[in-house]
Amino acid sequence: MIRVVLPAHLRTLARVAGEVRVEVASSPPTQRAVLDALEARYPVLRGTIRDAATQRRRAFVRFFACGEDLSHEPPDAPLPEPVVQGREPFLVVGAMAGG
């Protein structure tokens, strides 16, 4: 199980509190597989983290884990081992911008 922390607006949309956990089928688990699993479980999140048509990460969304910015990692790169093992969460973050 992969632990995912969503930003407040997306937790409200998905009607969840705190972390969510998703089962990822691919081995090794990847960013794309986590997002696929997340959207399958919470269809309302389709289009909010990555563009529904192009699958590109939305410009003001970032991915962090284990103190690293994974936003520019290829979507099919393996996730860090602590995330795979469930010791660290995969963070979806709304960039600081706006008013």
Judged by the rule CB under 8 A, the positions of this chain that interact with other proteins are 7, 9-10, 12-13, 44, 46-49, 51-53, 58-61, 94-95, 97-98
Which residue number, 17 or 53, has a Cβ lying nearer to other proteins?
Answer: 53
Residue 31 beta carbon to other proteins: minimum distance, rounded to whole angstroms:
17
Residue 10 beta carbon to other proteins: minimum distance, rounded to whole angstroms:
7
Chain-centroid distance, C-alpha 40: 12
Residue 96 beta carbon to other proteins: minimum distance, rounded to whole angstroms:
10
Which residue number, 4 or 84, has a Cβ lying nearer to other proteins?
Answer: 4
Look up residue 92 and give its DSSP letter: E
Alpha helices per DSSP H over 1-99? 8-14, 31-41, 81-84
Query: Which residues 6+ apart lie within 8 Å of 80 measured at CB?
Result: 65, 66, 68, 70, 88
Listed as own residue / partner, the contacts of 37-42 with beta carbons closer than 8 Å and 24 or more positions apart are 37/2, 38/4, 42/13, 42/14, 42/16
Residue 85 beta carbon to other proteins: minimum distance, rounded to whole angstroms:
29
Which residue number, 1 or 52, has a Cβ lying nearer to other proteins?
Answer: 52
